[in-house]
Structure 1
C-alpha cells in the first residue's frame, strides 16, 4: 500500500495529516449522525448496558442501511466508529474494544502509521469508501480553506483515499 503522504498539499495547513484528520472526523460524524437517526442510539445508550446493546443496534443499522455489505462483522466496525470509548471493565467483545481503541487513536492521536493500520481492514475501507462516495461530500466535510488550492488539495486527498480503499477491497475480493 502506498504511504498516505505521497500526495503533498501546497496549502490547507501544508500537511496531509491535517486533511486526513478532517476527512476522518467528518467520516465519524456522518456515520454517527446516520446511526443515531436509524437507531435512536443517543437516547437509548443511557438506559442500556453499553456493549451488548451497541452491537445489537449496530447489527440493526447494518441490516437497515447497508444490507448489501459483503462483511458479516461490519457491525463491529460501525460500533467502533460511533463509540470509541468502550469501558475496559465492560464484559464482552474484546475485538470491539480493540477496534474502538484503534479508531479512537486514528481520530484523536493521528499519525500515518495508525491510519495505514486501520485502512488494511477491508470492513473499514468499505465504510470509508461508502462515505467518500456520498453526494456533496465536500459540502458535508465543509470548506476548510478559502483558497482554490486548499480545496484542490482536499479533493486530491479524497481521491487518494478512494484509491487506497479500492486497492484493499480489490485484494479481499480475490
Structure 2
C-alpha cells in the first residue's frame, strides 16, 4: 500500500463497532472503581506491600462500607478486589474464588467477546456495581471524548442504555 492510498483510507471511528464501545465502557468502569478505591484506601501507595489476598479483600471491604453501604451483597468486596486488581501477582497467597473472578474480569477487559461479557453479568454483584457506574452523573465526560462523530456519541449512549437495562 502506498503512502498516497494510506491518506485516502478513512480512520476507524470509535462508534462503528459495538465491541469497541463495550470495551471502552468496561475499561472506564474499572478506571472509575480503581480511582474511588484509591481515594478510600490509599491503594496506590500500599500496593507494593500487599503480600496476600486477604489484605486486599479487607481494603475492598473497607471501600464497600464507605462508598456502597446500601449493597445487599456480603461478598461485594471480593468483586471489587477482582475489578481493581484483575491481574493478581503470582506470589500472593491464593483465594480460589478471587482467582476465578479475577480471571473473568481480565478476560472481559483484555480479550473481550459477548460470551465473556455475559459470564461477567451472570454475577449479580458485577451487575450491581456496573449499574451503579452507568448511573453516575456525567458518565459520558468520564468515559471521555473518544468518539469521532455525533453518531458515535449516539451509539455510545445507546450501548450504555442497553447495558444498564441488562444489569
Superposition TM-score, scaled by structure 2 size: 0.89
Post-superposition offset of 1:48 = 2.9
Give the 5 Å matches for 1:53-132: 53-132=55-134
The runs of 5 or more residues in structure 2 that have no matched partner are 1-12
Question: In the alignment, which residue of structure 2 is the partner of 1:4?
Answer: none
- After superposition, the CA RMSD in angstroms is 1.2
Which 4+ runs in 1 deviate beyond 3 A? Answer: none
Post-superposition offset of 1:87 = 3.2
Give the 5 Å matches for 1:115-154: 115-154=117-156
Q: Is the 8 A contact 1:58 1:78 kept in 2?
A: yes
Post-superposition offset of 1:25 = 0.3
Question: In the alignment, which residue of structure 1 is the partner of 2:47?
Answer: 45
Q: What is the DSSP-based 3-state SS (H/G/I as helix, E as strand, rest coil) of the residue aligned with 1:70?
A: coil
1:146/1:14 CA distance change after superposition, 3 Å? closer
How far, CA to CA, are the matches of 1:72 and 1:84 in structure 2?
20
How far, CA to CA, are the matches of 2:52 and 2:29 in structure 1?
22
How far, CA to CA, are the matches of 2:47 and 2:14 in structure 1?
37
**Greater gyration radius:** 2
Q: What is the DSSP-based 3-state SS (H/G/I as helix, E as strand, rest coil) of the residue aligned with 2:136?
A: coil
Task: Number of aligned residue pairs: give it.
Answer: 155
Q: Is the 8 A contact 2:14 2:148 kept in 1?
A: no
Q: Is the 8 A contact 1:22 1:141 kept in 2?
A: yes
Question: In the alignment, which residue of structure 2 is the partner of 1:36?
Answer: 38
How far, CA to CA, are the matches of 2:94 and 2:144 in structure 1?
37
How far, CA to CA, are the matches of 1:68 and 1:52 in structure 2?
23
The runs of 5 or more residues in structure 1 that have no matched partner are 1-10, 166-174
140-149 or 23-32: bigger deviation: 140-149
